[in-house]
Structure 1
Amino acid sequence: MKIMKKLLFISLTTLLFISCSNDDDVQPESIPEAFEKGILITNEGPFNNGSGTITYISEDYSTVAQNIYRTVNGKELGNIVQSMGFQDDNAYIVVSNSQKIVIANRYSFKSVDSINTGLQNPRYFIGADGNKGYVTDWGDPNDNNDDYVAVFDLRTNTISASVSVPFGPEKMVAYSNKIYVAHQGGFGQNNLISVISGNSVESSITVGDVPNSMVVAGNSLFVLCGGNPSYTGNETAGSLVKIDLSSGQVSNTYSFGATEHPSNLTMDGTNLFYSLDGKVYKLNSSAIALPGTDIISGFFYVLQAKDGLLYATDADDYASKGSLKIFDLSTNQQIQDFQTGIVPGGIYFNE
């Protein structure tokens, strides 16, 4: 995506960045007054140059707006838009290479604040309560001993504590006042889940190699582990690990084939979904017996299941515009296809 050399000062009520256009092409349509009740896509953008963006798709699919943060505020987010999280009325947009978190109202996307001190390589944000948030940070990605989880005071938008953790902290889930952090391993490989309570690590749980995604189902945490890739010279099989959240102990581990490396675990109802070798698989969380049943074909970058639908992003060649495809899980058929920005790496629902 090209970067405009001059700022675009445009009205919320007169301009729309539609899905079939370039992010820099302004179309004289009506942009929504608020970006609620819809889908938000974080687009990483070109690596090491240019800016990431956010795409909005309305709940009824009638409106698709590209680069909404720049549209509203007249400035870019930065490089790379890694992820986004919500707390109350705010969206916390993690911009990793720019070493900052941009805070915007989640419904208007008007800029609120930014956090650009105390961060080195931020990855993911999660809100813990009305006053506290957590952000995983690799520190120096070439140093396995300086990784941490930053604790934010959301009243002042400042770092209130830094929790030292094993290398490669990535995605998080919250459960019963605790934060579960998956240590995928950064530029290497790891096999841990850190359990954070307050401002300290309460315990750690050993899982399979390279835990890449997690979901909470009842009193269980399912962790999908990709396994060490072949290029490491120490290839290991992927696995699905079930953790009893009452005891903090692994209750079951289900292994994939020796060269199978699954990713993108998501859940809808009692069914789990994940990606493996160009297919999406489905399996029931109450009676897991691998392998699952493949239901959809496609190499997808991110998956999210919700209300009988599967949302899947396609990063294409990682340099051109990507897309969001929506599948009806009752038929496993594609029902929608929308253009996004470059490298659509996150799917979020604004409700």
Structure 2
Amino acid sequence: MISKKITLLFLSVTLLFSSCSSDDDNTGNESLGDYENGIIVSNQGNFGQGNASITYTSNDLSIIENNVFSTVNDRALGDTAQSITFNDDLAYIVLNASNAIEIVNRYTFESVATINTGLDNPRYIAFANGKGYVTNWGDGGVATDDYVAIIDATTNTISSQTITVEEGPEKILADGNIIYVAHQGGYSQNNIISVINAVTDVVSTTVTVGDVPNSLRLDADGDLWVLTGGTPSWTGSETGGKLSKIDTSDYGVTSIDFAGTEHPSYLALENGTLYYYLSGSVYKMDTDDTVLPTSAELTGLNFYGMEVKDNVLYGVDAVDYTSNGMILSYSLSSNEVTNFADTGIIPGGIYFN
């Protein structure tokens, strides 16, 4: 009898520990939501038509779901999805023509809050020191009304305080408590990077680069890379692009010039290698190179945006700007297309979730 009791007790304890072990193992595999571990694409939609949308795809583009925001929340996203920025578990979708920011859980895309005050032609957002910083053009034709709005990231409410900046603030990037803002120039052209202290919320300095900066990237050494597109030919004073490296310790600038009619864009950076888009082709170079490459890695492209991750290049193609666009992936080992999928109208931003 005693032997049977001991045996039963042993079996009970074994089952208890086995059950606990199984629960612990499953905890690490719990899904955060339907849209984790993949790519989020922001689709601008047609200006003034309120048909901006969000696309989710797996990293290999084999799974695709369009209209994610409207499907989850049973309402339209808004007008002109300019950009998305992740902050912890939240995604902030900047809606340019709606003068709003939709805040959602980045893994489920369930709505958390909407900011629709204090914004005027908003473009991009970055986070530092518990705050979100949003670039605003104001009236794109007026040089004196541009600013950076400030969001309390705890309450997701906008502050009455703004930071006045020069014309055309566009891409924005945070590095600790320092914020870098690229000034494209609104409907005109500009050539500076504003440096904002996220503790004092003031512009500490500006750095002159090439005309119309369109991309910002930080490398492993903390240096800031800036790609500028140059002034377009229709202005009557065309200038070529520049690739500049800013030493963030003293804001010294070293640059490589493109030809006077070359207008590069969409700078990407991975493992010490830079990638950029120019005239339907993608070029790559090391961060320690002193001259531009003479041959392209990929050709015959029609990109409206691109990113690189894990030696795969992803590009979005707006096609005809009225029907659905596409996202395509390319192996950077073979320089061959690996997959493609449909997106919403005018895909512009690629974000790894």
* 1:19-30 correspondence to structure 2 within 5 Å: none
TM-score normalised by L of structure 2: 0.88
**Cα displacement (A) at 1:57:** 0.5
**Cα displacement (A) at 1:278:** 1.0
Residue of structure 2 aligned with 1:296, choices 295, 298, 301: 298
**Contact 1:55 / 1:64 at 8 angstroms: preserved in 2?**
yes
- Structure 2: 5+ residue stretches without partners: 1-31
Q: Where does residue 352 of structure 2 map in the other structure?
A: 349
* 1:1-351 correspondence to structure 2 within 5 Å: 33-129=33-129, 131-160=130-159, 161-198=161-198, 199-217=201-219, 218-250=221-253, 252-297=254-299, 298-350=301-353
SS at match of 2:298: strand
- d(CA) in 1 for partners of 2:49 and 2:304? 21
- Structure 1: 5+ residue stretches without partners: 1-31
- d(CA) in 2 for partners of 1:202 and 1:187? 25
**Cα displacement (A) at 1:293:** 3.2
Task: Output one character per residue of 1:4-53: Cα deviation in whole Å (capped at 9) or x when no partner.
Answer: xxxxxxxxxxxxxxxxxxxxxxxxxxxx9521000000000012213200
Task: Output one character per residue of 1:124-177: Cα deviation in whole Å (capped at 9) or x when no partner.
Answer: 011214x21111000111211000011110122222220000010001111232
- d(CA) in 2 for partners of 1:325 and 1:194? 33
SS at match of 2:125: strand
TM-score normalised by L of structure 1: 0.88
Q: Where does residue 9 of structure 1 map in the other structure?
A: none
Distance 1:296 1:107, change over 3 A: same
**Contact 2:45 / 2:52 at 8 angstroms: preserved in 1?**
yes
**Contact 1:171 / 1:212 at 8 angstroms: preserved in 2?**
yes
- d(CA) in 2 for partners of 1:299 and 1:62? 21
**Contact 1:283 / 1:293 at 8 angstroms: preserved in 2?**
no
* Paired letter, 1:95: L
- Output the aligned Cα RMSD: 1.3
**Cα displacement (A) at 1:321:** 0.7
* Paired letter, 1:191: N
Matched residue count: 317
Which structure has the larger Rg over C-alpha atoms? Answer: 2
Task: Output one character per residue of 1:187-213: Cα deviation in whole Å (capped at 9) or x when no partner.
Answer: 110000000002110100000000001
Task: Output one character per residue of 1:253-284: Cα deviation in whole Å (capped at 9) or x when no partner.
Answer: 10001100101101111111111111111111
Structure with the higher fraction of residues in helix conformation: 2
**Cα displacement (A) at 1:219:** 2.4
